Structure 1
Amino acid sequence: MEWVFITIAVLAALGVYLSWTAGRLDRRHARLDASRAVLDAEFLRRSGSVLDLATAGLLDPATSVVLADAASRARTADDSDRYQAESDLTAVLVAALDDPDDLAPLREDPGAAAALDELAMSCRRAAHARRFHNELVRGATRLRRKALVRWLRLAGYAPMPETVELDDRVPHGLETAS
């Protein structure tokens, strides 16, 4: 009779553990969806800041056209090409705005300095959002790789989350922005 109570207690403890783990996994997936939305919003903010700078008439025409083109491509890219377009935008930003000495005359104009500061902030926010999202992905992946989670399919049919890998450096010329 004693073994019946022990069996019931073990099964109850296992049920509580599995329920807690499934809830934890569900919360992780909800946080992943939210962080993906924030990441996409930060990328849109960054490309918007680039477009604002490019169309403000503060830069030479060739640089403005290249920046506007890269920002437009990043905004309109489909999901399969989105992160490559974002990396390309970063490459264009680094090529155009990497030298602080080239941006020194712009910093003297309050309007241009505000545009550069806004772009620098949006670049930093996008980089932080990507790092935060990738940390959440790594945590969810670790949880999903546990044996009980896999055997009992506690993740259901949710796709395995993937990290976002792209170049999101802040150009050196913008790092001096406050």
Structure 2
Amino acid sequence: MIPLWAFLLVVVIAVAALVGLWLSLTASRLNRLHIRTDAARLSLEGALQARSAVVSAIRPELGRAAGRTTAVALKASDMGARSDSENILLRQLSAEDLVNPALVEASVKVDIAARFYNDAVGDTRDLRKRPVVRVFRLAGSAPLPAYYEAMSVGDGSV
């Protein structure tokens, strides 16, 4: 017969191992979500740069403004500066520009990339809201990603 203290010690060690495994798996999932968010942000940045190139091509006089727009960093924790810059650039386009097939195609790609990015941000933020993630600081020093919100060429708000 095993002594009671030995049995309790085994139970405590087993519970601690299970909690540690669960925390490790949660931290790994959070890391994968941050990687997914970063990849989606890079894809969004590429789509935004491509759209700025199209704007420069169809309206050469906006080339400098498009260059300033792409120079604004697309930071995971602060998407507002780039979003504002994109909105300013899009407001300078005429109604004729907005129906240009190349611009419409580039804008659709931006909208899709933004949707993927915002989905990744939502999943990451949902996991980071959990108390266990905050208490055990499973996110480390990674910044909380921000949503990308900008007007779209096709939504009539330009």
Q: Which bracket does the TM-score occupy, shorter chain normalised? A: 0.7 to 0.9
The answer to whether the 8 Å contact 1:127/1:169 transfers is: no
The answer to whether the 8 Å contact 1:70/1:92 transfers is: no
The answer to whether the 8 Å contact 2:121/2:147 transfers is: yes
Percent identical pairs in the alignment equals 33
Q: Assess, with a 3 A threshold, how the Cα gap between structure 1 residues 95 and 147 changes in structure 2: closer, same or farther.
A: same
Structure 2 distance, partners of 1:74, 1:94, is 18
Q: Assess, with a 3 A threshold, how the Cα gap between structure 1 residues 22 and 171 changes in structure 2: closer, same or farther.
A: closer
TM-score if structure 2 supplies the norm length? Answer: 0.80
Could you say which residue in structure 1 is the equivalent of 2:137? 153
TM-score if structure 1 supplies the norm length? Answer: 0.72
Structure 2 distance, partners of 1:44, 1:16, is 42
Structure 1 distance, partners of 2:69, 2:138, is 36
Aligned mate of 1:51, from 53, 56, 60 = 56
Q: Does 1:71 align with 2:76?
A: no
Report how far residue 132 of structure 1 moved: 1.0
Structure 1, gaps ≥5 residues long = 56-64, 101-115, 173-178
Root-mean-square deviation (Å) = 2.2
Q: Does 1:118 align with 2:102?
A: yes
Structure 2 distance, partners of 1:4, 1:94, is 74
Structure 2 distance, partners of 1:81, 1:160, is 16
The answer to whether the 8 Å contact 1:49/1:118 transfers is: yes
Aligned mate of 1:26, from 27, 31, 35 = 31
Report how far residue 171 of structure 1 moved: 6.6
Q: Deviations over 1:45-85 (max 9, x none)?
A: 00101111224xxxxxxxxx3x4454333223455732211
Aligned mate of 2:14, from 9, 14, 31 = 9
Could you say which residue in structure 2 is the equivalent of 1:106? none
Find the residue that maps to 2:154 and give its secondary structure.
Answer: coil
Q: Deviations over 1:120-177 (max 9, x none)?
A: 21100101111111111111111011111100101111111111111123277xxxxx
Structure 2 distance, partners of 1:143, 1:17, is 14
Report how far residue 93 of structure 1 moved: 3.5
1:136 is aligned with what amino acid?
Answer: A
Structure 1 distance, partners of 2:122, 2:138, is 17
Structure 2 distance, partners of 1:95, 1:73, is 22
Structure 1 distance, partners of 2:42, 2:126, is 22
Could you say which residue in structure 1 is the equivalent of 2:84? 84
Q: Deviations over 1:68-108 (max 9, x none)?
A: 4543332234557322111122333464435x6xxxxxxxx
Aligned mate of 1:167, from 142, 151, 157 = 151
